[in-house]
């Protein structure tokens, strides 16, 4: 299956995300096994419930999965992943280095995931997020996600609840306008 993002050393044009004056440069590439040491380290620093290396290797071989890394100054500062099944995308992970937060890296990774989902034919998207993660909830709401349920004690490490959020139309004018405004005229259809 063709993806918007290259699989090897090439990177997706980071200029599509926003102008350099608005935020630091962020280059995207598909996650590869060579990135796993950095991703596992990031997982330990930002999540109390982490993916295992074995699970990530399985994900790299999952034809329904897509994982992207974001690099700034040549260093991985974040990554995101999703499963795309039929016309639905399930965002499985979105992480940004603590010292790199506040620079729109998480937002640009989310946009990359939503663009890839649209490119692959997804019309809707879902995710779970910690109920107490107000910045993440606000970001997801900005891109059309709405809370539809609560998964009680979803996070095993501390028993925190998760909000289940959905955006029911990735092509609705509000979401499309946000993605096109951020990406400009080069956005994928």
Is 67 tagged catalytic? no
| Cα dihedral across residues 78, 59, 1, 31: positive or negative | positive
From 82, 128, 154, 160, the catalytic residue: 128
**What Cα–Cα distance (Å) separates residue 77 from each residue in 30, 100, 115, 144?**
14, 7, 20, 25
- On whether the CB atoms of residues 122 and 4 are closer than 8 A, the answer is no
Tokens of 55: 């699970």
From 59, 67, 79, 140, the catalytic residue: 140
Q: Comparing C-alpha atoms, which of 67, 74, 64, 91 is closest to residue 14?
A: 74
- Rounded to 5 degrees, φ, ψ at 91 are -75, 120
Is 140 tagged catalytic? yes
Catalytic residue numbers, as ranges: 128, 140
């Amino acid at each position: 299956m063709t993806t918007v993002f290259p699989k090897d050393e090439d990177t997706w044009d980071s200029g599509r995300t926003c102008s350099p004056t608005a935020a630091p440069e962020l280059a995207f590439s598909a996650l590869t096994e060579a990135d796993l040491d950095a991703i596992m380290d990031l997982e330990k620093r930002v999540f109390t419930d982490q993916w295992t290396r074995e699970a990530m290797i399985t994900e790299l071989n999952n034809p329904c999965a897509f994982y992207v890394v974001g690099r700034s100054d040549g260093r991985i500062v974040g990554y995101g992943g999703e499963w795309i099944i039929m016309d639905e995308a399930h965002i499985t992970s979105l992480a940004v280095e603590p010292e790199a937060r506040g620079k729109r890296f998480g937002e640009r990774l989310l946009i990359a995931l939503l663009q890839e989902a649209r490119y692959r034919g997804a019309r809707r998207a879902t995710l779970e997020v910690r109920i107490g993660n107000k910045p993440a909830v606000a970001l997801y709401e900005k891109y059309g996600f709405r809370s539809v349920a609560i998964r009680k004690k979803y996070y095993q490490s501390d028993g925190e609840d998760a909000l289940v959020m959905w955006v029911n139309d990735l092509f609705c004018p509000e979401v499309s306008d946000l993605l096109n405004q951020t990406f400009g005229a080069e956005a994928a259809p």
